[in-house]
């Protein structure tokens, strides 16, 4: 192995080639030239004494060694990003970058107005939003703060419970005007249903409570909650969505309220190392306050 310590830029190029499978695509993503990416890969291979890719006409294929190194390079990337966010916050007042992660519906439909108010109050604050529901992204420093629809159980996290968001069956008034309003779960079988494609842990946990609402009966299937919401709003059929969100749209009507009611336990969490960070503290507080208002229908 060469004595020279590998440069972080080499690892960054390594990750991009892993992801894209070619030097040219990695170069476009990084905003550098293809020969530069090639030199980074060659330098990293020389420093580590390993062959990381096999070259062919189809591109670059990772070797076993490259796949073994990938999680460590990803960890370096996450640490580097977290370091830059922490560095950006130093100075007077609340400033810098806060990286948030939230589920699709919360991130797209609920958080933007909350974050707009936060930005008006702290104009030197920059927000990065990742739509994800992974359980481990805070510990890996992929994000500073997470809004989660389950209780975070990992140690080293500060977590605040917001409450339970109710999920009910809804349809657009245009659909109901043509097909009528279902009066029972049995009658629901004659309607066009919108639902999931692949089961998640949450769906499996509530399946027995809503036996009539099963995949085989869905005329529209999507694993994206946003896609399901879009279909409901378009008048495609009857589907499940968050009741506080549906209440904001006068065209959406809740059906079978007593027969179908689920809850999503909602939490805001961040790594305990960030408790003294002004940028994270004000963002955490804004999310807690804004989500409480969302649950209450304000």
Full DSSP string of 2-55: -SSPPPHHHHHHHHHHHHHSSHHHHHHHHTS-HHHHHHHHHHHHHHHT---EEE
Answer whether residue 24 shows pLDDT above 80: yes
Answer whether residue 174 shows pLDDT above 90: yes
Chain centroid offset of residue 186 CA: 35
Report whether CATH 1.10.3720.10 matches the domain 8-83.
Answer: no
Phi, psi of 95, rounded to the nearest 5 degrees:
-155, 170
Q: In angstroms, rounded to a whole number, what is the distance separating the alpha carbons of residues 168 and 118?
A: 30
Mean pLDDT of the 136-159 span: 78
Answer whether residue 136 shows pLDDT above 60: no
Answer whether residue 54 shows pLDDT above 60: yes
Give the lowest-confidence range in 74-83, 109-118, 216-225, 287-296. Answer: 74-83
Mean pLDDT of the 9-23 span: 87
pLDDT-derived band at 11 (thresholds 50, 70, 90) equals confident
Give the lowest-confidence range in 19-33, 87-101, 155-169. Answer: 87-101
Give the lowest-confidence range in 146-155, 228-237, 249-258. Answer: 146-155
Phi, psi of 264, rounded to the nearest 5 degrees:
-115, 110
Answer whether residue 39 shows pLDDT above 70: yes
pLDDT at 135: 59
Of 167 and 150, the one with more pLDDT: 167
Q: In angstroms, rounded to a whole number, what is the distance separating the alpha carbons of residues 166 and 257?
A: 11
Domain 164-264, CATH: 3.40.190.10
Answer whether residue 1 shows pLDDT above 70: no
pLDDT-derived band at 209 (thresholds 50, 70, 90) equals low
Q: In angstroms, rounded to a whole number, what is the distance separating the alpha carbons of residues 37 and 163?
A: 48
Q: Mean of the per-residue pLDDT values for the chain?
A: 87
Helix (H) or strand (E) segment spanning residue 283: helix 278-296
Class of domain 87-163+265-296: alpha beta
Going by C-alpha positions, the residue among 287, 272, 191, 281 that lies closest to residue 236 is: 191
Answer whether residue 2 shows pLDDT above 60: no
Mean pLDDT of the 176-180 span: 97
Q: CATH 1.10.10.10 region(s) of the chain?
A: 8-83
Q: CATH 3.40.190.10 region(s) of the chain?
A: 87-163+265-296, 164-264
Answer whether residue 212 shows pLDDT above 50: yes
Max mean pLDDT range (31-35, 142-146, 168-172): 168-172
Going by C-alpha positions, the residue among 196, 249, 198, 185 that lies closest to residue 227 is: 196
pLDDT at 224: 92
Count other C-beta atoms under 10 Å from residue 165's C-beta. Answer: 21
């Amino acid at each position: 192995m060469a004595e020279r310590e590998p440069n972080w830029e080499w690892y960054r190029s390594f990750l991009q080639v892993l992801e894209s499978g070619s030097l040219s695509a990695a170069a476009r993503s990084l905003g550098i030239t293809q020969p530069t990416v090639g030199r980074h890969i060659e330098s990293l291979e020389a420093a580590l004494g390993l062959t990381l890719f096999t070259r062919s006409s189809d591109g670059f294929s990772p070797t076993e060694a490259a796949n073994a190194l990938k999680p460590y390079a990803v960890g370096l990337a996450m640490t580097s990003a977290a370091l830059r966010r922490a560095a950006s916050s130093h100075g007077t007042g609340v400033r810098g970058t806060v990286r948030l992660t939230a589920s699709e519906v919360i991130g797209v439909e609920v958080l933007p107005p909350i974050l707009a108010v936060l930005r008006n109050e702290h104009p030197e604050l920059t927000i990065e939003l990742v739509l994800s529901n992974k359980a481990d992204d805070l510990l890996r420093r992929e994000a500073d703060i997470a809004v989660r629809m389950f209780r975070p159980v990992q140690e080293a996290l500060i977590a605040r419970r917001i409450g339970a968001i109710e999920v009910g069956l809804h349809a657009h008034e245009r659909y109901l005007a043509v097909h009528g309003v279902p009066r029972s779960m049995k009658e629901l079988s004659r309607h066009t249903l919108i639902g999931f494609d692949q089961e998640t842990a949450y769906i499996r946990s509530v399946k027995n409570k809503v036996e009539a609402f099963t995949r085989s009966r869905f005329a529209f299937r999507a694993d994206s909650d946003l896609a399901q919401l879009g279909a409901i709003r378009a008048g495609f059929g009857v589907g499940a969505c968050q009741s506080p969100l549906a209440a904001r749209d006068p065209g959406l009507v809740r059906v079978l309220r007593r027969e179908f009611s689920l809850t999503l336990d909602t939490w805001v969490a961040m790594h305990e190392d960030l408790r003294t960070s002004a940028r994270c503290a004000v963002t955490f507080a804004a999310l807690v306050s804004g989500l409480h208002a969302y649950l209450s229908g304000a």
